[in-house]
Amino acid sequence: MSAKKRVAILISGRGSNMSALIEATKNPDYPAQIVGVISNTPAAPGLAIASRHNLPTAVHQLKSYADKNATDAAITATLKSWQTDIVCLAGFMRILSDEFAHQWHNRLINIHPSLLPRYKGLNTHRRALEAKDKVHGCSVHHVVAELDAGPVILQHEVPVLPDDTEETLEQRVLIAEHQLYPKALVALIEQTGSRP
Ligand code: GRF
């Protein structure tokens, strides 16, 4: 078997998708290992979870640098120090610079709580309910400079039930996200496995 891909995760909050990825990598046959977690806020609860798993963590806040490009250059420096092959955004609530997206092109993915291209951006569950959609879900996609617009790798559909609220729908989608992200990362590695 070829060497495991070195994956770093970028978070801003609770880190439940990060946890799902960490759990998946505990299977010896899983083709990736987590090499570190970066947050854009020191308050992200996910940082403590990462530390409990003995993973290196780093915080790069916009306010600590001259501008977005300088912040993203610092993130890239940390990622390179971990010899990162693939970057997974998991609830990272800041739009990265175009330069960062170009630099990590094909090696930068995100999980989004909708069936893209529907409902790019925020409040996806509310918008699905308002549109009276019967089916909703989540997507893992490549990150490109335009928000939530990169090619989709995998999606997971969930039903929208007649008595759903934003909260019940979010819960159902989140469970699907936790199943989808580890699978989508494998799919990416299989797609790109032959590339350096
Ligand atoms: C998830 O719903 C993800 O799809 C979105 O932000 C949320 C992050 O949740 N991008 P968590 O931090 O992974 O628990």
Select from 76, 86, 80, 82 the least CA-distant residue to 188. 86
The pLDDT tens digits of the residues spanning 51-106 come to 999 999 999 999 999 999 999 999 999 999 999 999 999 999 999 999 999 999 99
Confidence of residue 195 (pLDDT cuts 50, 70, 90): low
**Count of domains observed in the chain:** 1
Q: Is 132 exposed, middle or buried (0-12, 13-18, 19+ CB in 10 A)?
A: exposed
- Look at ligand 1, atom 2, and give the residue with the nearest C-alpha: 113
Select from 161, 151, 162, 160 the least CA-distant residue to 192. 151
Q: Is the pLDDT of residue 20 over 70?
A: yes
Segment holding 33, helix H or strand E: strand 32-39
- For ligand 1, whether the C-beta of 17 sits within 6 Å is yes
Residue 80 Cα to ligand 1 middle (Å): 25
Query: Would you name the residues annotated as active-site residues?
Result: 112
Exposed e or buried b per residue across 30-69, where buried means at least 16 C-beta atoms within 10 angstroms of its C-beta? bbbebbbbbbbeeebebbebbeeeebebbebeeeeeeebe
Q: What is the CATH number of the domain that holds 165?
A: 3.40.50.170
The pLDDT tens digits of the residues spanning 131-186 come to 999 999 999 999 999 999 999 999 999 999 999 999 999 999 999 999 999 999 99
The pLDDT tens digits of the residues spanning 67-78 come to 999 999 999 999
In three-state secondary structure terms, 149 is coil
Residue with tokens 């916009």: 62
Closest atom of ligand 1 to 18 CA is 13
**Span 19-29, average pLDDT:** 98
* DSSP string across 85-137: SEEEESS--SPPPHHHHHHTTTSEEEEESS-TTSS-SS-HHHHHHHTT-SEEE
- For ligand 1, whether the C-beta of 13 sits within 6 Å is yes
Q: Is the pLDDT of residue 196 over 60?
A: no
- For ligand 1, whether the C-beta of 137 sits within 6 Å is no
Domain that holds residue 123: 5-192
**From CA 90, how far away is CA 190, in angstroms rounded?**
20
**From CA 97, how far away is CA 95, in angstroms rounded?**
7
pTM for the whole thing?
0.96
Residue 146 corresponds to which amino acid? E
Dihedral sign for Cα atoms in the order 39, 45, 46, 50: positive
Specify the pLDDT at position 155. Answer: 98
Confidence of residue 192 (pLDDT cuts 50, 70, 90): confident
